[in-house]
Every structure is written in C-alpha cells, then in structure tokens.
C-alpha cells in the first residue's frame, strides 16, 4: 500500500502528539523574544479544520474533489503549510505557486496549464491575480486558520480513492533560465520520496552523545521540493521546524534561532550557507554557535570549495554530519554522500531486496562528462519523461578516478557554456576560483560568454570595494585568479583571458532565483549581451 503525505502526518500526530512540530517566532517591536510551540496534535487538528473550511467553500461553488486547486503563497509560514495539507486532506490536488513569481501572465500560464478549477492566494501585499478563464474561481486565504466549532472528524469527507499513477501534487521548476514548467507528482512518486526521506533525514542527535531534541531550520518555501520533502522526513521522525522570517534570515535571527529556539541542526541553501561561513570567519561568537550545531544540511550547487574547507577545518559540521543531497524537483532526492565532492547511489530496496531506484550515468558529447538519468523502471521516475521513457536531469558528473560507481558532481548542463569553437567551458570551476581567490573583494559572480571565443567573469564587489577604481579592481581580480593552478593550466578558451574580460556590476545586480538565491546565468547573459559584443568588438581574436 502506498503511503501518502496525509498518512505520514496522521502517523506523526499519533506517535508524537505532545512533541513540538513547529516553533513560531514571537516578536516585540520587531525583535524576536521567543518561540511559540505548535505540537503535532495541534498541527493535525489545524489541518483537519482547514480541510473542512476549504471543502465547504469549494464544493459550495461546484469545485469537486480531485480537482486541481492552485495555492499562490510565500510558503514560508506555518499557516501556508496548513493550507497545503488542508486542501490535500479535503480531497483536492494542490498546485503550489511560489509568491516569488510576480508576472501575471506566468501565474495565469501555470494555472491554466494544470487545468486548475480554483486559485487560493495570500492577499499579503499581492494584487489579485488575473486568470484568463472564467471557470477558475479565486479565493482569498482567511486571516486565521478556521476552527472546527465542535464539528467532529466525521463531518469531513474521506479523500477519494486514487490510483498509484494519479497526480497527488503539482509543483513547478525554479525557472532559472526560462518560464517555470509544471511538475506533476504521482502518488507512486511521492511514496518513493517518503521512503527516501525516512533514511536521508534521520535525526543527527541519534548518532551523537548529545541526545537533544532535534530542532531544524526552515529551508526555502513549502512550494519547493527541497523543503516539501524535508518536512515529510522531519514529521516521520517527529522532529521540530523553526519558522523563519525569510529564506535568507540575517545573522541576528540565526542567533535567536539557536539561543531562544534551541536550533540543533540547520538546513540552508548554499548562498545562505556561504554567508554564514563568512560571518563565522569574522565573528568568533557566531563561529562557536555554528560549531555547536549537530550538523548542517545543504543541497543544490555546493558553496565555494574554499569556504567548505575553512568550515571543516574550523569545526563546523559540514563534512562529517552533512548529507549533500542531489535533488531535482521532478524526482526528489536521488543520491547522497558524506563527502563534499563524491556522489554515490542512494541505497533503497523493496521488501524482496529488489532495488527501487534505477539510474544511469551516460556520456555527454564523447567527453568524460556523464549526465545523470532516471531510468523507466525506477520507482522515482517523474511523470514527464522523454520519448524513450527516461528522465534526463541535465545534471553532470565525472566518475571518480580509481573508484567505479562513485561520481564527482560537475554542475548542471546549464553550468557549461559552449564557446565559438564549439567546445564547452565549466563555468562552476571558474566561479569557484574567483570565490577562492577573491572572497574579500567580491560578493557574487557568474561566468557568461556563450558563442564567444572565451568566457567573461561578471562580479559583484563588496560594498566597501564598490566605490573604488574599477580598472584597479579588475586588474587585482585577474592577477589573483591567474595564480590558480587550474586556471593557469586551462586552454585559452577555458579561462579569463585578460582584465578586460571582467565585468564589474553593483552588489545586488546579478539576477537570482527567489528560493535558492542561485544566479540566473542565462538572464545575466541576456542583460549583458551588449557589453560582451562591445568587449569583443575591440578585442583581437
């Protein structure tokens, strides 16, 4: 029998009824003074009350069970989680749309593409979304979670029966390089993801001598596969989640989370992790707080290697305790490692010992690069696949020398740009060199230059360097990256050829995804295409 997200919550509410599932910040004049605990019993009751409310509202307007209902929310609040699960428990298919998407035409595209019958939205600072279809009902999320008023569970209809391949949840991709596309999650796929997270997110406190109750941080939005799956794993093990004010909380809030909320383990995207490591380098007290965490889990594009190494050498549990999980929105977590560079298959078997996850690494362009592919027989095969039945993730790896079946992550296909010669450049490696050699000078960077003879480096300088002479800054950055052995050994089209190939922009200029904070390379290149043309017009080839 397939396990559903609702069944996972019901199990947690039974096993861990009195334990805290969430901690919500308490403010006094914009300062966090403590955290209010929400128990698993309270969480489940809130979901049931919410389900009754939406069941009555939607069915009154003729929106039948098993219809798609869009939720346009930030996904950063406890109430957002309750609405997602409430609509699911009411028998509908939630389509989660992150409020970081502002364009009305994109919202309309996603809703119409899913054939949604309703759109529920958070009115907090948002204009009423305009959907170009009269059969899509619009509803404002109520200011507080509806209360049952004495109604019992029998007043709530059972969820309708579903087949394994029926759609249970709809997410969307991050839209790093284009318009977000729908990702339909079947009951079978969600069951497999639940099996993964049971093993992936075992509390760190069970493996050390502290034995403290595990309290973890919020990571991104509930509309994102990362936090959506993390949450199911936490509920399975009965651990607690702290609500944050944003996906990238300031240092002061992280300190409050540790001291007042008793944060024991942190989950964060690499952009926030990099900032925390930088803060720890500058502040011994903050470093000690980071050291005291049982572990830090991160995913996606890894932080700069120089920062990872510094954290490891200074007692921050990034290597021993961290699981760097390869995630795709379509398939969920697929491989895991306790080493920052190496990726190996995540072991997951059926009751009879048959492997549930079946993957392949196939060569790309006759090179050493291999693309990670989910095969048709894999239990986590996404709904939308290629004509051959496979799912091509676009994630690239190299096999680790001397160890068959172990791979080094080399980024996504979008992290490699093709030059005028037809050969590809590893942008992530060049960006890491810039971070390693110029961390005191730059806040962010990205490699661009598709179709040009060699790449260009775009840098956001720290505010304290931004007012300086740009030519001197370019020369200093070029001199530093030239000292890297990797850069020095690169062929002419694989490296930054001169200081003129370094473009300085203001801090905050680089376009980033709202959830993870990753730089949108394609968008940056489009905005600076004129600059690239200008540079190469005056540069001899």
Specify the DSSP class assigned to residue 458: E
What are the structure tokens assigned to 472, written together?
Answer: 């001197």
Q: Are residues 228 and 86 in the same domain?
A: yes
Mean pLDDT of 338-342: 47
Q: Are residues 346 and 465 in the same domain?
A: no
Residue 383 has pLDDT above 80, yes or no: no
Model confidence band, residue 492 (pLDDT cutoffs 50, 70, 90): confident
Q: How far apart are CA 308 and CA 436, in angstroms?
A: 10
Question: How crowded is the C-beta side of 220, counted as CA atoms within 13 Å?
Answer: 26
Polymer length of the chain? 541
Specify the DSSP class assigned to residue 303: P
Q: Greater confidence, 274 or 401?
A: 274
Q: Are residues 404 and 432 in the same domain?
A: no
- Position 412 scores a pLDDT of 73
Residue at 437 is within a domain: yes
Residue at 284 is within a domain: no
Q: Greater confidence, 423 or 220?
A: 220
Nearest alpha carbon to residue 10 among 116, 85, 101, 121: 85
Q: Are 55 and 89 contacting, i.e. CB atoms less than 8 angstroms apart?
A: no
Q: How far apart are CA 88 and CA 5, in angstroms?
A: 9
- Position 325 scores a pLDDT of 40
Q: How many domains, in total, are found in the chain? A: 3
Residue 466 has pLDDT above 60, yes or no: no
pLDDT digits over 114-125, tens only?
A: 999 999 998 876
Q: Are residues 402 and 444 in the same domain?
A: no
Q: Are residues 203 and 350 in the same domain?
A: no
Where is the domain boundary, 368, 387, 413? 413
pLDDT digits over 298-318, tens only?
A: 766 667 777 888 888 999 987
Q: Are residues 354 and 437 in the same domain?
A: no
Mean pLDDT of 226-253: 91
Mean pLDDT of 190-212: 73
Q: Please state, rounded to an integer, the average pLDDT across all residues of the chain.
A: 83
* 504: containing domain: 419-537
């Amino acid at each position: 029998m397939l396990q559903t997200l609702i069944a996972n919550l019901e199990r947690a509410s039974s096993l861990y009824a009195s334990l805290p599932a969430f901690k919500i910040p308490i403010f006094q004049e914009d300062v966090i003074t403590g955290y209010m605990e929400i128990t698993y019993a309270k969480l489940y009751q809130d979901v049931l009350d919410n389900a009754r409310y939406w069941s009555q509202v939607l069915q009154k307007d003729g929106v039948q069970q098993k219809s798609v209902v869009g939720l346009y929310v930030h996904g950063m609040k406890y109430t957002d989680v309750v609405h997602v699960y409430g609509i699911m428990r009411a028998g509908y298919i939630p389509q989660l749309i992150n409020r970081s998407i502002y364009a009305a035409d994109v919202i309309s595209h996603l809703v119409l593409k899913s054939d949604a019958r309703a759109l529920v939205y958070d009115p907090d600072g948002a204009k009423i979304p305009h959907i170009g279809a009269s059969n899509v009902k619009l509803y404002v999320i109520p200011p507080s979670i509806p209360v049952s008023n004495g109604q019992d569970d029998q007043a709530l209809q059972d969820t309708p029966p579903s087949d394994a391949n029926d759609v249970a949840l709809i997410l969307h991709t991050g839209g790093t390089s284009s318009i977000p596309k729908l990702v339909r999650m079947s009951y079978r796929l969600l069951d497999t993801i639940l099996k993964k997270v049971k093993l992936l997110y075992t509390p760190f406190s069970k493996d050390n001598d502290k034995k403290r109750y595990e309290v973890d941080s919020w990571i991104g939005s509930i509309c994102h596969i990362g936090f959506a799956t993390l949450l199911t794993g936490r509920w399975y093990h009965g651990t607690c989640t702290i609500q944050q004010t944003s996906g990238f909380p300031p240092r002061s809030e992280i300190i409050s989370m540790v001291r007042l909320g008793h944060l024991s383990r942190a989950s964060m995207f690499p952009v926030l992790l990099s900032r925390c490591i930088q803060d720890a380098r500058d502040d011994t007290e903050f470093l000690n707080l980071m050291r005291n965490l049982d572990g830090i889990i991160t995913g996606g594009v890894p932080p700069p290697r120089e920062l990872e190494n510094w954290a490891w050498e200074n007692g921050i549990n990034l290597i021993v305790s961290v699981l760097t999980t390869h995630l795709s929105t379509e398939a969920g977590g697929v491989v895991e490692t306790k080493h920052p560079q190496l990726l190996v298959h995540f072991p997951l078997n059926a009751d009879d010992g048959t492997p549930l996850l079946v993957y392949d690494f196939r060569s790309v362009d006759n090179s050493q690069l291999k693309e990670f592919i989910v095969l048709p027989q894999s239990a986590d095969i996404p709904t939308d696949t290629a004509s051959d039945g496979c799912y091509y993730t676009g994630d690239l790896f190299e096999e680790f020398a001397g160890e068959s079946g172990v791979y080094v992550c080399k980024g996504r296909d979008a992290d490699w740009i093709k030059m005028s010669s037809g050969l590809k450049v590893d942008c992530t490696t060049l960006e890491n060199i810039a971070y390693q050699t110029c961390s005191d000078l730059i806040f962010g960077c990205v490699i661009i230059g598709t179709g040009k003879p060699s790449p260009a480096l775009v840098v956001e300088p720290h505010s304290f360097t931004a007012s300086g002479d740009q030519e001197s800054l370019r020369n200093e950055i070029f001199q530093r990256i030239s000292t890297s052995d990797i850069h020095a050994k690169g062929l002419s089209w694989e490296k930054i050829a001169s200081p003129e190939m370094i473009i300085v922009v203001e801090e905050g200029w680089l376009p980033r995804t709202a959830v993870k904070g990753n730089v949108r390379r394609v968008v940056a290149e489009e905005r600076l295409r004129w600059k690239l043309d200008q540079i190469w017009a005056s540069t001899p080839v």
